[in-house]
A = this chain, B = another copy of it.
Amino acid sequence: MAVTTISRSKCFGGTQGVYSHESAETHCTMRFGLFLPPAAATRRVPLLYWLSGLTCTEENFITKAGAQRVAAELGVAIAAPDTSPRGVDVPGDRDSYDFGVGAGYYVDATEPPWSRAYRMYSYITEELPRVLATSFPVDAANAGIFGHSMGGHGALVIALRNPGRYRSVSAFAPISSAARSPWGENALTKYLGSDRNAWRQYDATALIAERGWPGPPLLVDQGSDDSFLHEQLKPELLEEACTRAGVPLRLRMRDGYDHSYYFIATFVEDHLRFHAANVSA
């Protein structure tokens, strides 16, 4: 459970770090970013998990989203893990941007050769919280989760399956239904096999139908000029599932915004205040 410091910089009075550790789940060295607000100097602070999208590492969110200013003010920590195992060298893991390295989809793969290391679901829900709670002044039981695109899918799936452990969930331009997205269909077939019943535990809309959600409304922002909107993201599927299940959803279409971090930076303050109101309650 030893954590190595890769870098650490003062930022808005707190500390933005990048750390690594040996992961038993993914059988490799995993990196994560962690922002600790000034309040963490004197007490354990609530913890938000940010899950990134395809091709991202632990760096994208911490350098581009501009979240530290508001997290410092609100007194919440933000953990930003990597999006897949690194360096395990499974044949084919770098053939495309949307599968393998940088594209773990936050699942526990069951199909060889992926099943050994591609265990991002257990990594995010079990191992990383233990690492964080052991090494940093964070209150891992007082957590929210959010993410972008593939990471928005991950945040929704992880919260919906573990409602007792995440008090709030939000997403930017999430893959609403991995089973009904070309990206997701390709990845779930390879990670989980072709039996679509096995995919349901990693499909946000199926989970909403089966389990509901006892927490505050699901908060989702989606840009209207996002080039992946109609083919991959399909927020209408999320809306339909929530309506049927009676799960409150605050879905906000943002006119003219695209899929980039400029979109995330614009609205991240809203998401942080939403989570802080729930995790600190």
Residues of A at the B interface (CB closer than 8 Å) are 9-13, 16, 63-64, 66, 68-69, 223, 225, 256-258, 260-263, 265-266
Contacts and interface: CB of A to CB of B under 8 A. Distances in A.
Contacts of A256: 10
A64 B63 CA distance: 5
Contacts of A16: 262
Contacts of A257: 9-10
A63 B61 CA distance: 11
| Identical subunits present | 2
30 contacts: A9-B257, A9-B258, A9-B260, A9-B262, A10-B223, A10-B225, A10-B257, A10-B258, A10-B262, A10-B263, A10-B266, A11-B262, A11-B265, A11-B266, A12-B265, A12-B266, A13-B266, A16-B262, A63-B63, A63-B64, A63-B261, A64-B64, A66-B66, A66-B69, A66-B265, A68-B262, A68-B265, A68-B266, A69-B265, A69-B266
A263 B64 contact: no
A198 B263 CA distance: 46
A125 B266 CA distance: 31
A262 B8 CA distance: 10
* 6 smallest beta-carbon distances between A and B, as pairs: A66-B66, A11-B262, A9-B262, A10-B256, A10-B257, A9-B260
